[in-house]
Structures are given as C-alpha cells and as structure tokens.
C-alpha cells in the first residue's frame, strides 16, 4: 500500500489547522514545566527539578518540531522567533535540527539522511553515539545547508553562548543546572527521537513506528511517538496526530503498525 493511497483515502486536511485551544497548547505547553523545574532547582531540589526538566525538554522538542513544519499556528516571523528562543533554552541550534529533519523526510533512511543514521544501530550504540550525533547535526548544516541556514545557526549559537556565559559568570546555579541537563538530553536525541521510532523499519522506511493503547504513553512522550502519522501527514500539528491516528485505524485497520513500545 502506497503513501499516496493512504493520504487519498484518509480525511486529514482539516487537521492542518489548529483551534485557538490548540495554538495555546502548542505554543505554551512547555512553559509551566520550565518554571517549576527552575524553582525547584533554585531551592536545591535537583532530583525533583530533573523530573520536570524531562517533561520540559519533551514538550519543547515537540514545539520545535512543529515549528520546523510551520505547524504552530503562527506566522513565519513568530515561528522563527519561537525557534530562536527554544534554541537558547535547549542549548542547541533549532535551525540545525530543522535542516537535517527536513532532509530526513526527503531522503528517509537513505545515505543522504543523516538524522536517520542511528535507525540501523543497536539501541546501546544509538545512546553512545548521541553526543557525536548532535555535533554532526550542526556540522552537516554548515557543510550542506544554504547561507540562510548557516546564518541562523550562527545567530542561535551566539545567543546560546551568551546565555551560558551569563549563567556561569554570575554563578546562577539553577541556570547552570538547566544547561547541563539540556545538554544531557540532547545527547540522547539519537536514541529516543530517531532510533526509538525508526529501528527495524529499513525494509519500509516510509512506515516508521507509532503508538497505540494506554493514555500514559501519550503523556510521557508528549504525543511525539505518533511517528507513522507524522511521516504520512507531516503538516499536521502534534496536537492533532492522535485524531488522525484514529481516522487511519478506521480506514486501514489492517495496516501494519509497529509500536514504539
């Protein structure tokens, strides 16, 4: 069954647009978790802060992902601003992620798809490769990206350096904690953002893994594991992926859907 056939027979275009509620969720979902994690870290409760930092990272990754696909319900200027702000607080260039992610959709698991490189690795190899993966995400953007991507990467990197300098120079411990934790999570991206949703799909790379079942799966993944649906309908915001997954099940109940977990 081809992607074109699935897209033709599934009603999905109405899900490209976000309601006002959807816009608020997609653009502000991460903020409460950031505030709570900072307050706890400020008070020295680093273990509790870490739990909220996990959720902050996942929800911010979700926001960046939607920004990459222009699915935040914002205009181009504000989407760009969102990516810049998230670059600073995630300590990584969102433009570098964007460049490689769009190529991932175009060259899915082929030699030109650097983002998908860990899909064929063992799970532990993907984890160990993580820091190199994130470095090469930036390097690949510099080598293969156009002048716009390189300028955006440079600008985001400058702001990240300023943010890190302020935190260290003024000894703002809760910000130093935040930066260290974000870098730790970035090192795991190759595992949970690539390997987890693409491993053992090389024969049919256009059909990555997805999630079904208990609601807690959606919560802990911030709905980011509806990856089959995302590849089939990349313009649909994360907020609406659960709905399109239901429609997909109704129209194609026998479609082979490999679960993330």
**What confidence score (pLDDT) does residue 219 get?**
82
**What confidence score (pLDDT) does residue 257 get?**
87
- Helix (H) or strand (E) segment spanning residue 158: helix 147-169
**What confidence score (pLDDT) does residue 1 get?**
73
**What confidence score (pLDDT) does residue 241 get?**
96
Q: Where are the domains of the chain?
A: 19-205
Q: Are 225 and 210 in contact (CB under 8 A)?
A: yes
**What confidence score (pLDDT) does residue 229 get?**
96
**What confidence score (pLDDT) does residue 121 get?**
97
CA-nearest of 35, 101, 32 to 64 is: 101
Q: What is the pLDDT along the chain (261 residues), one digit of tens a residue?
A: 788 899 999 999 999 999 999 999 999 999 999 999 999 999 999 999 999 999 999 999 999 999 999 999 999 999 999 999 999 999 999 999 999 999 999 999 999 999 999 999 999 999 999 999 999 999 999 999 999 999 999 999 999 999 999 999 999 999 999 999 999 999 999 999 999 999 999 989 999 999 987 778 888 888 999 999 999 999 999 999 999 999 999 999 988 889 998
């Amino acid at each position: 069954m081809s992607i074109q056939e699935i897209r033709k027979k599934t009603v999905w275009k109405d899900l490209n647009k976000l309601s006002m509620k959807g816009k608020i969720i997609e653009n502000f979902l991460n903020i409460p978790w950031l505030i709570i994690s900072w307050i706890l870290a400020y008070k020295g409760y680093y273990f509790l802060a870490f739990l909220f930092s996990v959720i902050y990272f996942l929800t911010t990754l979700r926001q960046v992902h939607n920004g990459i696909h222009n699915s935040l319900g914002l205009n181009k200027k504000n989407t760009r601003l969102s990516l810049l702000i998230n670059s600073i607080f995630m300590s990584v260039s969102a433009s570098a992620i964007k460049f490689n992610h769009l190529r991932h959709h175009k060259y899915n698991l082929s030699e030109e798809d650097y983002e998908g490189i860990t899909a064929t690795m063992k799970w532990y190899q993907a984890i160990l490769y993580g820091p190199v993966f994130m470095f090469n995400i930036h390097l690949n953007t510099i080598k293969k990206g156009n002048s716009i991507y390189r300028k955006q990467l440079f600008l985001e990197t400058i702001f990240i350096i300023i943010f890190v300098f302020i935190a260290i120079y003024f000894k703002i411990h809760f910000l130093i904690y935040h930066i260290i934790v974000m870098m730790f999570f970035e090192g795991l991206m190759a595992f949970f953002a690539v390997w987890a949703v693409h491993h053992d799909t090389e024969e049919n790379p256009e059909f990555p893994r997805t999630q079904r079942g208990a609601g807690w799966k959606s919560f802990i993944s911030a709905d980011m594991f509806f990856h089959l649906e995302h590849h089939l309908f990349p313009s649909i915001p994360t907020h609406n992926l659960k709905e399109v997954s239901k429609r997909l099940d109704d129209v194609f109940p026998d479609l082979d859907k490999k679960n993330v977990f």
